[in-house]
């Protein structure tokens, strides 16, 4: 998912980016996504209690326009969060300015912001940049838009898939931003996914919710959720219809694959990260308890720093499993492995444990921690990364 990540244009969708000078010097920081008439959009938003002004406005506008917005306006560098009543007014003002420029109702514009919390949104700069955005709109604008919405990201994040429907091939393409303040149940991220398929509105929302549950809600970098998280799925209807159960299932697979690719790209690009880590928990009584264990392990600073050093300090994993709060956990039945190397079982170090082999299994760009609870058949996984000195530097200096 590097700088030149490939993508497939989505029929009817146009994108553009420009430099508005919101916070960054010499780079694009404002993006626009234009959807054709007849499009429908589903969305999920952050569960953080301090929901940012653009989240509140976007939710309200989405309902007011019947889930048929025409414009998604995204700025980086300023979150417009923790800005009170003025923040709401500023988000609305941006929507009105764009709507006036295109001759549309302001409710057809959804605003999105990411960046520093608690600072006023420089609305005048955004307004001044809108004419440039409008003339730059292009079906191939995905890569430029993906770069424009980055904050501490080091690479743009794009993914495309296709789904074979009964009426033809449907395209799904998405972009995302995110690198830090990442935690399941919506991470600090923005993601915009589009398809040319024609999808009933209720089905579109259901597809998005399940895709997010299997992707963006399974990642964590540092255990922090954000005020601004949002993920949208827009269907232009310019391609084949997805109305039968089989077609909807095929489309959902493609949407989920795009979301998983973007979610993993966020973790790979975690601030200062050097490893993509899968925490895989099996043998649970239900999925919820497997997820609870996976998240505790994935968010443990001690586990994450050991991962950075490729130090198979299995005691840290064992301790994290033990404090996950599972009732009646029989530690004698728990098995822990790093990759294929069993490190603990029966409540102690595994017989024949090979420390050098475990270190080699951990010293890879992609690492899997396997935890078998030995009390059922349920499974779950979470993707995370290691924790480095660079993470501390980035976040210590974020506002300076």
Q: Domain limits of the chain?
A: 14-268, 276-396
Going by the DSSP 8-state scheme, the letter that residue 241 receives in this structure is B
Active-site position among 18, 108, 188, 195 = 188
Q: Indicate the range of 143-147, 174-178, 269-273, 348-352 predicted with least confidence.
A: 269-273
Query: Residues 215, 180, 130, CA angle at the centre, nearest 5°?
Result: 90
Number of H helices, E strands in the chain: 11, 15
Cβ-Cβ contacts under 8 Å for 336 (sequence gap 6 or more)? 314, 317, 318, 321, 342, 343, 344, 345, 369, 370, 371, 372
Token pair belonging to 365: 């760009």
Q: What CATH fold (topology level) applies to the domain 14-268?
A: 3.60.70
Q: What gap in Å lies between CA 247 and CA 170, rounded to an integer?
A: 10
Span 220-239, mean pLDDT? 82
Cα 298 off chain centre by: 16
User: Phi, psi at residue 93, to the nearest 5°?
Assistant: -65, -40
The structure tokens listed for 159 are: 């993914």
Sheet bearing 71-78, strands edge to edge: 14-18, 30-34, 71-78, 109-116
pLDDT higher than 50, residue 2 = no
CATH number for the domain whose boundaries are 276-396: 3.10.20.340
Predicted confidence at residue 226, as pLDDT, reads 63
**Residues 36 and 128 sit within 8 Å (Cβ to Cβ):** no
Q: What CA–CA distance (Å, rounded) separates 80 from 52?
A: 6
Q: Considering the chain, what is the average pLDDT of its residues?
A: 91
Q: d(Cα 131, Cα 136) in Å, to the nearest integer?
A: 9
Q: H helices of 286-369, where? A: 287-298, 301-308, 314-322, 355-362
Which of 38-47, 59-68, 321-330 is predicted most confidently?
A: 59-68
Helix (H) or strand (E) holding 114: strand 109-116
Instruction: Say if residues 76 and 179 touch (Cβ distance below 8 Å).
Output: no
Query: By mean pLDDT, which of 4-8, 108-112, 154-158, 183-187 is the weakest?
Result: 183-187
pLDDT exceeds cutoff 70 at 38? yes
Given a cut of 90, whether residue 24 has pLDDT beyond it is no
Distance CA 161, CA 242 (A): 15
pLDDT, position 280: 97
Q: Do residues 142 and 173 make contact, with C-beta atoms less than 8 angstroms apart?
A: yes
- Among 369, 307, 303, which Cα is nearest to 334's? 369
Residue 58 to residue 110: CA distance in whole angstroms: 5
Q: What average pLDDT does the segment 333-354 reach?
A: 94
Coil, strand or helix at 311: coil
Whether 379 sits among the annotated catalytic residues: the reply is: no
Q: Which is nearest to 171 in space by CA: 4, 41, 9?
A: 9
Q: Do domains 14-268 and 276-396 have the same CATH topology?
A: no
Convert the pLDDT of each residue in 41-55 to its tens digit.
999 998 878 889 999
pLDDT of 3? 39
379 has pLDDT over 70: yes
Of 43-52, 223-232, 299-308, 331-340, where does mean pLDDT reach its minimum?
Answer: 223-232
**Residue in 82, 63, 61 with CA at minimum distance from that of residue 72:** 61
Using the predicted structure, report yes or no on whether residue 224 has a pLDDT greater than 70. no
Residues 343, 349, 355, 358, Cα dihedral to 10°: 10
Length of the chain: 400
Residue 170: predicted pLDDT? 98
E strands, 189-229, are 190-195
């Amino acid at each position: 998912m590097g700088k030149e990540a490939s993508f497939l244009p989505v029929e009817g969708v146009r994108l553009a980016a420009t430099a508005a000078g919101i916070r960054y010097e010499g780079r694009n920081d404002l993006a626009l996504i234009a959807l054709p008439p007849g499009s429908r959009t589903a969305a999920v938003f952050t569960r953080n209690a301090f929901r940012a002004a653009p989240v509140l406005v976007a939710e309200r506008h989405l309902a007011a326009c019947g889930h048929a917005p025409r414009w998604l306006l995204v700025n980086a560098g300023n979150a417009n969060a923790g800005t009170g009543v003025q923040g709401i007014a500023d988000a609305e003002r941006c929507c009105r300015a764009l709507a006036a420029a295109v001759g549309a109702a302001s409710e057809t514009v959804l605003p999105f912001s990411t960046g520093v919390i608690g600072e006023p949104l420089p609305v005048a700069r955004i307004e001044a940049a809108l004419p440039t955005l409008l003339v730059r709109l292009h079906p191939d604008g995905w890569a430029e838009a993906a770069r424009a919405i980055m904050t501490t990201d080091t690479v743009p994040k794009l993914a495309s898939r296709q789904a074979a429907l009964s009426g033809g091939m449907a395209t799904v393409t998405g972009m995302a931003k995110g690198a830090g303040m990442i935690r399941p149940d919506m991470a600090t991220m923005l993601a915009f996914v589009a398809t040319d398929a024609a999808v009933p509105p209720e089905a579109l929302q259901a597809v998005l919710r399940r895709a997010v549950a299997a992707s963006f809600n399974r990642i964590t970098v540092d255990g922090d959720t954000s005020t601004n998280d949002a993920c949208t799925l827009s269907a232009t209807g310019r391609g084949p219809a997805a109305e039968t159960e089989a077609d909807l299932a095929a489309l959902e697979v493609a949407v989920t694959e795009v979301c998983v690719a973007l979610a993993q790209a966020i973790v790979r690009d975690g601030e200062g990260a050097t490893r993509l880590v899968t925490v895989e928990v099996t043998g649970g009584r239900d999925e919820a308890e497997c997820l609870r264990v996976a998240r505790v392990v994935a968010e443990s600073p001690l586990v994450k720093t050991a991962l950075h050093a490729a130090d198979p300090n299995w005691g840290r994993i064992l301790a994290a499993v033990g404090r996950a709060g599972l009732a009646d956990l029989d530690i004698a039945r728990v098995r822990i492995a790093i990759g294929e190397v069993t490190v603990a079982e029966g409540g102690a170090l595994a017989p024949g444990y090979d420390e050098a082999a475990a270190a080699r299994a951990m010293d890879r760009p992609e690492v899997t921690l396997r935890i078998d609870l030995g009390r059922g058949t349920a499974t779950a996984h979470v993707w995370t990364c290691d924790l480095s000195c660079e993470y501390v530097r980035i976040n210590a200096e974020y506002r300076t």
